[in-house]
Amino acid sequence: MHVIGMDKDVFEINNKIAERNRKTFDEAGVLAINFMGAIGSGKTAMIEVLHKKLIGYRIAAIAGDIISDLDANRLKKLGIPVLGVNTGRECHLDAHLVEHAADHFDLKDIDILFVENVGNLICPVDFVLGTQLNVTIVSVSEGDDTVEKHPMIFVSSDAAVINKIDIADAVGADAEKMRRDALHINSKLRVFMTSIRKDMGIDEFADWIKKEKEKRK
Ligand SMILES: Nc1nc2c(ncn2[C@@H]2O[C@H](COP(=O)(O)OP(=O)(O)O)[C@@H](O)[C@H]2O)c(=O)[nH]1
Ligand SMILES: [Mg+2]
């Protein structure tokens, strides 16, 4: 069918640009990490807190959003070099947007580049960006069935972060079930249970990022 053919072209073009991005990041010694997850799961908050934990690493961020520059401004306030990218009506970043955004940075001056995707658990799956790592952040307040309801994003992730475990009891969510679901979907996933609010599990997540960065030196 014609529509399927069109989609195939779009994905092929995106994949090609993503490969180019990957090469650019590798050659510049940049570890790029795509943070995916629903609106409000804690993607921006995670970049804010990791900025404090990843001492000695030069970090920068690309903040994807449909229209606003609120997240970019939050990160800018902390002194993080950041570029906001508005996607208009699109519910995901794509490789082309990331390629352009990356052009705004001197990549030689960056160790770790966080790419905050648009808040969505479905659309980003089909659009790889060329980041070396893909991380999905979900929060317990989305309901403890949110992982099993969105398997594809966990299939295409290297790590899953189950965030806001501090309020799991208050919202009646079983965070351990979410961990089990994630591993059931993808047994290779690294799963981190975190509370940004209470500084739980963040050091483990930051250590994993550091190790991934050191691997690529
Ligand atoms: N209780 C609690 N709230 C959190 C935690 N992490 C983030 N939040 C709050 O969740 C809201 C959304 O966070 P934000 O980082 O903007 O989400 P994003 O849309 O994924 O970027 C903010 O009000 C945060 O303060 C956490 O671990 N526990
Ligand atoms: Mg955000």
Report the nearest atom of ligand 1 relative to the CA of 37. Answer: 20
Q: How far is the CA of 197 from the centre of ligand 1 (A)?
A: 8
Distances (CA, A) of 17 to 44, 97, 136, 195: 25, 10, 22, 35
Could you tell me the domains of the chain?
2-212 (3.40.50.300)
Residues with Cβ–ion distance below 5 A, ligand 2: 43-44, 71
Give the number of the ligand closest to the Cα of residue 82: 2
Specify the pairing of strand 82-86 against strand 59-65. Answer: parallel
pLDDT digits (tens, 9 = 90+) for 23-50: 999 999 999 999 999 999 999 999 999 9
Alpha-carbon span 143 to 138, nearest angstrom: 9
Among protein residues, the one whose CA lies closest to atom 26 of ligand 1: 164
Distances (CA, A) of 135 to 4, 62, 105, 124, 165: 28, 15, 22, 11, 17
pLDDT digits (tens, 9 = 90+) for 71-129: 999 999 999 999 999 999 999 999 999 999 999 999 999 999 999 999 999 999 999 99
Distances (CA, A) of 156 to 34, 55, 134, 150: 11, 29, 7, 11
Amino acid at 217: K
Out of 39, 44, 70, mutate this one to test ligand 1's pocket (max ligand atoms within 8 Å of CB): namely 44
What sign for the dihedral angle of Cα 211, 15, 61, 75?
A: negative
Among protein residues, the one whose CA lies closest to atom 1 of ligand 1: 164
| Residue-level pLDDT at 1 | 46
pLDDT digits (tens, 9 = 90+) for 179-209: 999 999 999 999 999 999 999 999 999 999 9
pLDDT digits (tens, 9 = 90+) for 149-184: 999 999 999 999 999 999 999 999 999 999 999 999
